[in-house]
């Protein structure tokens, strides 16, 4: 795989997490205090950078076959989880993620919390809210960066993709000063799930000793196959939901997610 597909894949995956982190940072900054919020953001970024700096070089020293087997399995599991949620949302069995609603909930909690100075930080709540939000979302970014970068022996390209995603999302958030509620988040998660599942399957099989026809070119077939199967499941579940809603009495109707969501 060349660097460009790696950068693009990591960019899309990290952009989704960056949007969710941005919502938390904006809620803390606009409602509480920007200085403490930015301190929390910077502290989280320092921790995440340290994790990449330590784990990245260490993981790349592992034998490539064993590395791809483990990383491939993790990516496939991770990708299937994203796909499952995206398919259920696309079919109407699970509510779409409401970024605006999440922002309002964070704002309400921030407004209700008392202002407390601690450890040299004038607003400890804003600091911790920003720190925890960025750290938790950022750990998923770190996972994607390290797994993709290590599997291709190009952590630098993966870091570049993540950095571009964070920069674009941050710049957009600063410009509009609001959560990016209009971003097609489920479509992005659907695409990321497809890519993670496809690459995970590809690398896992290679790590187990399999040889793909055409080597990396096999991904040009594997990715569309995973996409078509996922879309097929979405369409089938959507039809099932419609049949169920037509056959159920209106007074006793239930939302689809109450029937099938875990």
The angle at the Cα of 106, spanning 163 to 12, to the nearest 5 degrees, equals 25
Q: Does residue 9 sit within a domain?
A: yes
Above 70 in pLDDT, residue 53?
yes
pLDDT given for residue 253 in this prediction: 45
The beta-strand segments (E) located in the chain are none
pLDDT given for residue 205 in this prediction: 92
pLDDT given for residue 226 in this prediction: 94
Q: Does residue 259 sit within a domain?
A: no
Q: Does residue 248 sit within a domain?
A: no
- What does the alpha-carbon distance between residue 172 and residue 19 come to, in Å, rounded to a whole number? 10
Q: Dump pLDDT digits (tens) for 111-148.
A: 887 777 787 788 888 899 999 999 998 898 888 888 88
End-to-end distance of the chain based on CA atoms, in angstroms? 37
- The count of structural domains within the chain is 1
pTM: 0.72
Q: Specify burial of residue 257 (Cβ count, 10 A radius: 0-12, 13-18, 19+).
A: middle
Report the 10 Å Cβ neighbour count for 93. Answer: 20
Q: Does residue 30 sit within a domain?
A: yes
Q: Does residue 250 sit within a domain?
A: no
Query: 220 is in which domain, residue-wise?
Result: 3-243
- What does the alpha-carbon distance between residue 128 and residue 131 come to, in Å, rounded to a whole number? 5
Q: Does residue 255 sit within a domain?
A: no
Q: Dump pLDDT digits (tens) for 156-178.
A: 888 899 999 989 988 888 787 66
Q: Does residue 106 sit within a domain?
A: yes
């Amino acid at each position: 795989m060349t660097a460009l597909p790696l950068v693009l894949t990591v960019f899309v995956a990290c952009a989704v997490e960056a949007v969710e982190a941005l919502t938390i940072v904006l809620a803390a900054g606009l409602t509480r205090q920007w200085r403490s919020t930015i301190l929390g953001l910077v502290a989280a970024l320092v921790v995440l950078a340290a994790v990449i700096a330590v784990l990245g070089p260490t993981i790349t020293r592992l034998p490539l076959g064993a590395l791809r087997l483990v990383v491939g399995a993790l990516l496939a599991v991770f990708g299937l989880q994203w796909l499952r949620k995206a398919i259920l949302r696309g079919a109407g069995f699970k509510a779409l993620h409401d970024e605006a609603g999440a922002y309002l909930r964070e704002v309400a909690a921030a407004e209700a919390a008392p202002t407390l100075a601690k450890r040299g930080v004038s607003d400890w709540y804003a600091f911790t809210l920003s720190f925890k939000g960025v750290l938790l979302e950022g750990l998923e970014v770190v996972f994607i960066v390290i797994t993709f970068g290590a599997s291709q022996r190009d952590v630098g390209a993966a870091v570049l993709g993540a950095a571009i995603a964070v920069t674009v999302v941050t710049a957009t958030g600063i410009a509009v000063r609001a959560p990016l509620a209009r971003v097609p988040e489920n479509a992005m998660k659907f695409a990321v799930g497809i890519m993670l599942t496809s690459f995970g399957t590809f690398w896992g099989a290679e790590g187990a000793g399999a040889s793909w026809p055409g080597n990396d070119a096999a991904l040009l077939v594997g990715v569309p196959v995973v996409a078509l199967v996922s879309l097929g499941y979405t369409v089938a579940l959507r039809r099932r939901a419609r049949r169920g809603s037509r056959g159920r009495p209106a007074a006793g109707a239930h939302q689809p997610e109450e029937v099938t969501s875990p």
